[in-house]
A = this chain, B = another copy of it.
Amino acid sequence: MKQAQTAIRPTREENYPEWYQEVIKASDMAELSPVRGCMVIKPWGYALWENITRIMDDMFKATGVRNAYFPLFIPINFLEKEAQHVEGFAKECAVVTHHKLEKNEDGALVPAGKLTEPLIVRPTSETIIGDSFSKWIKSYRDLPVLINQWANVVRWEMRTRIFLRTSEFLWQEGHTAHATRQEAIDRTHMMLNLYKKVVQEYMAMPVIIGEKTPAEKFPGAETTTCIEAMMQDKKALQAGTSHFLGQNFARASDITFQTPQETEDYVWTTSWGVSTRLIGGLIMTHSDDNGIVLPPRIASAHVVLMPIIRSEKDRETVMGYTDALAARLREKCYYHRPINVEVDTRNTGARNWDWIKKGVPLRVEIGPKDIEKDSVFVGRRDRDPKDKIAIQKDEFIATIGDILDDIQQALFDRALAFREANTCVIDDINTFDAFFTPKNKEKPEIHGGFALAHWCGKEACEASIKDRLNVSIRCVPFEAENESGKCIECGEKSRKRVVFAKAY
């Protein structure tokens, strides 16, 4: 039997979906719970979410947004107020129908205390927040209202995949109300660009920004804008969305205001959100066949110190040296937060590989021989596990920020190069179909990647491609230039290329 060359089996090449499950398991980030479709986010995974929330929260606040909290439960009649919205969410919501449990004749606990009106667990909060807005907003002087909520939401998914699609997930949902259409549109774009910044600069995930087609937009939105990333199986992941809701939800929730001209009008609203799904995207973008790879700016920890104690006589020297190094590193900041140092004193062979699988950016071995030379032995997670180099300790402390930045940049560059290598401009329907058709039926996930192709704007063409190839329009990119062409499906006039891809 051939020895496994990598820490994770199967590899990405062998079986990408299983590799994803195994990578997460090996990293100790999260696991499925006994509750259908719900996950347990373990400390190593939750620390990532904490880093994301702190970075975003500060940025939100810098734009004038304040946090608030709204009820977990939504009365059914609230959902019904917006026709598309209820269509979009009624099929996948958890419904609370009773408010206590009682023992039946057999001694089993059964629901009791039936509610007059059932409640649903929020799948998103436009309608319940809209109700508050309708009370808070009277005049143009009350506008804009800029609110964000960090919360859990539930969408009953039949096919779940940890982080990417779970029945319960954590997210933030921003909700704003404005006096003018333009101001609301500007806010929609401001938040989308903020997402792009966090995802690119901190998570090292290159994204395409653009607008969803009418068929793909949020139920009830006038327009949905999004950031789309390419995973290592060349599928697209929607990593964040920002919706311009027009006056739809204002009408549904009766959110009116008195204008400066003393007329009455509906406000213009937006909503925007990212979720724990981002963690799934991060894993699928950077990780390799040895496990998770965490970009330094968002990593749960920046560096792990591994003292090597071969005999008891070395213990005091090695531990003293290690603790002193940890203390000096912790005094430093990298990208607005203190360097987070783990010290792993286990003297086992598994230790080094455990940290590789967890994706910590830097692994530092400290043994008696290194101490003699006042140097440390450093491995970078973006390089081969065997490529370790000795660095003078003081130099390591002085340059750790530069090394981390170098890793950060390398991860971004690698992800961008991968996306570019797997993005094709396609003008011919046969090439297009071949691009998306798996060559190997056993590995249906293997296909071409992103196709930049012309689309006439008709929903029929979009639907026909989706039916045939399970490929959707991920977005109409903002950054693409106008260009005359012919729709890939029907050959009619088109003015812009859109991004076609298979998607999570």
Query: Which one, A36-44, A211-219, A222-230, A362-370, is touching chain B?
Result: A36-44
Q: Min CB distance, A482 to chain B, in Å? A: 42
Other-chain residue from B38, B67, B71 in contact with A43 (beta carbon distance below 8 A): B67
The reply to whether A73 and B35 form a contact with Cβ atoms under 8 Å apart is yes
Q: Min CB distance, A43 to chain B, in Å? A: 4
Q: Which of A118-148 contact B (CB under 8 A)?
A: 118-121, 128, 131-132, 135, 147
Tell whether A92 is near chain B: CB-to-CB under 8 Å.
Answer: yes
The reply to whether B95 and A40 form a contact with Cβ atoms under 8 Å apart is no
Tell whether A383 is near chain B: CB-to-CB under 8 Å.
Answer: no
Tell whether A56 is near chain B: CB-to-CB under 8 Å.
Answer: no
The reply to whether A38 and B101 form a contact with Cβ atoms under 8 Å apart is no
A121 / chain B contacts, CB cutoff of 8 Å? 72, 96, 121
The reply to whether B72 and A152 form a contact with Cβ atoms under 8 Å apart is yes
Other-chain residue from B35, B43, B95 in contact with A97 (beta carbon distance below 8 A): B95
Q: Which of A153-175 contact B (CB under 8 A)?
A: 154, 156, 168, 170
- If A47-B67, A90-B100, A94-B96 touch, whether A73 touches B111 (CB-CB below 8 Å) is no
Tell whether A46 is near chain B: CB-to-CB under 8 Å.
Answer: yes
Complex Cα spacing A35 to B116, Å: 12
The reply to whether A38 and B72 form a contact with Cβ atoms under 8 Å apart is yes
Q: Min CB distance, A45 to chain B, in Å? A: 8
Can you name the residue of chain B whose Cβ is closest to the Cβ of A150?
Answer: B150
Q: Mark A94-119, 1 if CB is under 8 A from B, else 0.
A: 11111111100000011101000011
The reply to whether A99 and B68 form a contact with Cβ atoms under 8 Å apart is no
Can you name the residue of chain B whose Cβ is closest to the Cβ of A166?
Answer: B71
Q: Min CB distance, A255 to chain B, in Å? A: 14
Of the four ranges (under 10, 10 to 19, 20 to 34, 35 or more), the interface on chain A belongs to 35 or more
Q: Min CB distance, A222 to chain B, in Å? A: 24
Tell whether A74 is near chain B: CB-to-CB under 8 Å.
Answer: yes
The reply to whether A40 and B168 form a contact with Cβ atoms under 8 Å apart is no
- If A90-B100, A95-B100 touch, whether A131 touches B34 (CB-CB below 8 Å) is yes
Query: Which one, A75-83, A266-274, A456-464, is touching chain B?
Result: A75-83
Q: Name, among A67, A95, A147, the residue most crowded by chain B CB atoms within 10 Å (CB to CB).
A: A95
Q: Name, among A71, A75, A86, the residue most crowded by chain B CB atoms within 10 Å (CB to CB).
A: A71
The reply to whether A69 and B41 form a contact with Cβ atoms under 8 Å apart is yes
A98 / chain B contacts, CB cutoff of 8 Å? 94-95, 97, 118
Tell whether A93 is near chain B: CB-to-CB under 8 Å.
Answer: yes
Complex Cα spacing A194 to B271, Å: 38
Question: In the complex this chain forms, how many copies of it are found?
Answer: 2
Tell whether A465 is near chain B: CB-to-CB under 8 Å.
Answer: no
Tell whether A59 is near chain B: CB-to-CB under 8 Å.
Answer: no
Tell whether A33 is near chain B: CB-to-CB under 8 Å.
Answer: yes
Complex Cα spacing A160 to B454, Å: 58
Tell whether A373 is near chain B: CB-to-CB under 8 Å.
Answer: no
The reply to whether A111 and B131 form a contact with Cβ atoms under 8 Å apart is no
The reply to whether B76 and A119 form a contact with Cβ atoms under 8 Å apart is no
The reply to whether A40 and B71 form a contact with Cβ atoms under 8 Å apart is yes
Other-chain residue from B41, B94, B131, B152 in contact with A152 (beta carbon distance below 8 A): B152
Other-chain residue from B33, B74, B156 in contact with A71 (beta carbon distance below 8 A): B33
Complex Cα spacing A431 to B150, Å: 51
The reply to whether B111 and A97 form a contact with Cβ atoms under 8 Å apart is yes
Complex Cα spacing A147 to B44, Å: 12
Tell whether A66 is near chain B: CB-to-CB under 8 Å.
Answer: yes
The reply to whether B96 and A100 form a contact with Cβ atoms under 8 Å apart is no
Tell whether A151 is near chain B: CB-to-CB under 8 Å.
Answer: yes
Tell whether A413 is near chain B: CB-to-CB under 8 Å.
Answer: no
Complex Cα spacing A79 to B34, Å: 13
Tell whether A374 is near chain B: CB-to-CB under 8 Å.
Answer: no
Q: Top 3 A-B pairs ranked by shortest CB distance?
A: A38-B71, A43-B66, A95-B98
A-B contact pairs, 25 of them (CB 8 A): A33-B71, A34-B131, A43-B68, A43-B147, A46-B66, A46-B69, A47-B66, A47-B67, A72-B121, A72-B168, A73-B94, A76-B101, A76-B109, A90-B109, A93-B100, A93-B101, A94-B96, A95-B96, A95-B99, A96-B96, A96-B121, A97-B97, A110-B118, A151-B152, A152-B152
